[in-house]
A and B are shown apart, each in its own frame.
Chain A
Amino acid sequence: MSHHDDAERDIDILETHETDPITAFEGDLPVGTSTPSALRRKLIQYAPAIALFFIVLVAWESLTRLLGVESFLLPKPTEIAEKLADNTGIIWAAAVNTLIEAIGGFVVGVLLGITVALATVRWAAAREGLMPFAIAANSVPIIAVAPITNAMFSLTSPVSKMAVVAIVVFFPVMINTARGLTEVDPAELELMRSYASHPRTVLTRVRIPNALPYFFSSLKVASALSIIAAIVAEYFGGPQDVLGQYIVSKAQLFLFPDAWAAIVVASAIGIAFYGLILLAERVFMPWHISFRAADDR
């Protein structure tokens, strides 16, 4: 796991050994501090990103207008927004269906990934036999199997799309989780050994908490991949009321602003999913270094 800088740790907050409460802490623990000042700090922190977003949007709009860019090349943001407003109902229904595929596959892939990762801890043979293939599989474009899963499972069933998503999600989750479970500070393992701990206790008290940061970073990757995989799988056919088919059919009819409207929604879903993972990360590992308030570090 990532050991925070020893130099940082050794900053002597307290030189002497008296038990005076340390003023530097002011009792503010790193967990869930959302005081008004913290909120303001957050806003200031994100201000450049928000500003950039609007600058790009305005530049996009004015350049497409100024240069008279054809809408099949790049439609104007206002045009996309208009189509989005006109077809909210249809796009929303399509998005829900795509989301069901993505989340269904995501859940299956993550559960499988965790299971296999746990097996690699329990059986060294599983780790040594499986990991090279898993790492190899993780670097090939698994999304290419989409037409095959479409054939394996019924084309009309969301299961065929979920299968693609599950396969795509499985590898990063499995590899990262296995790494987090096995790459434990040897001193922590010796400590547990000195307590004559059962391997199960070592798993629950040390290995699993140690794996959480690895697991969550794999979930962040997997959340984005799941939406991508679902939409790409939809390109290869199936029911029409999904985002992938919506985009394909509009593009075929040269209705590019319509296609873009669906892309915007797909992006929003991806970002929201990612945000949800970030939130879960905060809830499940509030102790992690990345959440320590800047002035406490």
Chain B
Amino acid sequence: MSQVVIEARGVNKVFGRTGPSPVEALRDISLSVAPGEFVSLIGPSGCGKSTLLRLIGDLVAPSSGTLQINGKEPHQARLDRDYGMVFQRATLLDWRTVGKNVELPLEVMGSDDRQARARQMLELVQLGDFEHHYPWQLSGGMQQRVAIARALSFRPSLLLMDEPFGALDEMTRELMQQEVLRIWRETETTVVFVTHSIPEAVFLSTRVFVMSPRPGRISDVIDVPLSHPRDEDTRESADYYEKITEVREALRRQERP
């Protein structure tokens, strides 16, 4: 693996460039993410954080600038199955059991040992007993954990998460955050995490990219050197609050013209 997982230089994205009202979604985005990092993109709605994630994942193409994933074009990285994706909704297929949902990418990719691998992933997200249940029989938090298991089942080098806990209640959300950190440590996957929750970004990340809107830019990059493993005590520590304040102030600075 190369020294950087994500390398962006001067990336711009304009939607509807040829139309009557083009929208500049991202301007001059430059960032680099090293293997094993957990980075968050945070900013007010409309700041283009999801668009940036979708550019990285080759769901949309940049208008200009260079973007490389594991030293390749995003398109090639997608063909090489470098990405695991988790969206705000779990997006499980209704007609498949939990186990079969986790097997889906393995099936598409023609992997062997699908069932064993799916079981292993369900164990990882602590849903080992729910292999034969249907998605609707699970709570929102459990469904989202299935989505994470599915995204990791084919061992992608990069996990892209777009507000995955946005629809969950606060308690479930905190539990899920700890789960994700545990999985991140166990699998050593690089994670890019989009959120609009300041505490969530600080708790999870090794680095927080603060974005400002219209057009979306990276206004600050904040290191979060809190020690791992992070747990309930972390949430009550002074360092944690300090970082939250720092991110909050960085977001507030943008509001002044």
State the A residues within 8 Å of B (CB).
Answer: 1, 4, 6, 9-19, 21, 25, 29-30, 185, 187-188, 190-197, 201, 205-206, 209, 212, 285, 287-289, 292, 296
Contacts and interface: CB of A to CB of B under 8 A. Distances in A.
A12 B140 contact: yes
Interface string B98-131: 0000001101110000000000000000111100
Contact of A185 (B80, B83, B91): B91
B172 A205 contact: no
Interface of B: 57, 59, 78-81, 83-85, 87, 89, 91, 93-96, 104-105, 107-109, 126-129, 132-134, 136-143, 145, 154, 167, 169, 171-172, 175, 179
A112 B91 CA distance: 32
A173 B145 CA distance: 37
B79 A194 contact: no
Contacts of B80: 196
B87 A187 contact: yes
B59 A193 contact: yes
Contact of B139 (A12, A193, A288): A12
A12 B171 CA distance: 11
Contact of B136 (A192, A194, A195, A292): A292
A13 B136 contact: no
A246 B59 CA distance: 63
B133 A194 contact: no
A1 B95 CA distance: 12
Contacts of A193: 59, 78
Contact of A30 (B96, B134, B141, B179): B134
B78 A194 contact: yes
30 contacts: A4-B136, A11-B139, A13-B137, A14-B139, A14-B142, A15-B139, A17-B126, A19-B128, A19-B129, A25-B133, A25-B137, A187-B87, A187-B91, A188-B93, A190-B85, A191-B85, A191-B87, A191-B91, A193-B59, A194-B57, A195-B105, A195-B109, A195-B154, A197-B108, A205-B93, A205-B104, A205-B107, A206-B93, A209-B93, A212-B95
A285 B95 contact: yes
B75 to A, nearest CB: 9
Contacts of A6: 167
Contact of A13 (B126, B132, B138, B171): B138
Given A9-B140, A205-B108, A196 B95 contact: no
B78 A196 contact: yes
Contacts of B59: 190, 193-194
Contacts of B142: 13-14
B129 to A, nearest CB: 6
A188 to B, nearest CB: 6
B104 to A, nearest CB: 7
Contact of A16 (B81, B84, B140, B175): B175
A187 B89 contact: yes
A25 B130 CA distance: 11
Given A18-B126, A194-B85, 20 more contacts: A4-B136, A6-B167, A9-B140, A10-B167, A12-B139, A13-B139, A14-B142, A15-B171, A17-B145, A19-B127, A25-B133, A188-B93, A193-B59, A193-B78, A194-B57, A195-B105, A196-B80, A206-B93, A285-B95, A288-B94
A195 B80 CA distance: 9
A12 B172 contact: yes
A176 to B, nearest CB: 17
A12 B105 contact: no
Q: Which 10 A-B pairs have the closest CB atoms?
A: A10-B140, A187-B91, A209-B95, A12-B139, A195-B108, A287-B95, A194-B85, A196-B79, A195-B105, A197-B108
B108 A29 contact: no
A209 B100 CA distance: 14
B165 to A, nearest CB: 12
Given A6-B167, A11-B139, A190-B59, A287 B79 contact: no
A58 B121 CA distance: 62
A16 B81 CA distance: 33
Contact of A21 (B84, B129, B167): B129
B137 A296 contact: yes
Contacts of A192: 108
Best-surrounded residue of B94, B137, B171 (most CB of chain A within 10 A): B94
Contacts of A29: 132-134
A11 to B, nearest CB: 7
A207 B57 CA distance: 23
Nearest to A284: B95
Nearest to A292: B136
Contacts of A25: 133, 137
B143 A9 contact: yes
Contacts of A11: 139
Given A17-B141, A209-B95, A12 B169 contact: yes
A58 to B, nearest CB: 43
A15 B172 contact: yes
Contacts of A17: 126, 141, 145, 175, 179
A197 B81 CA distance: 10
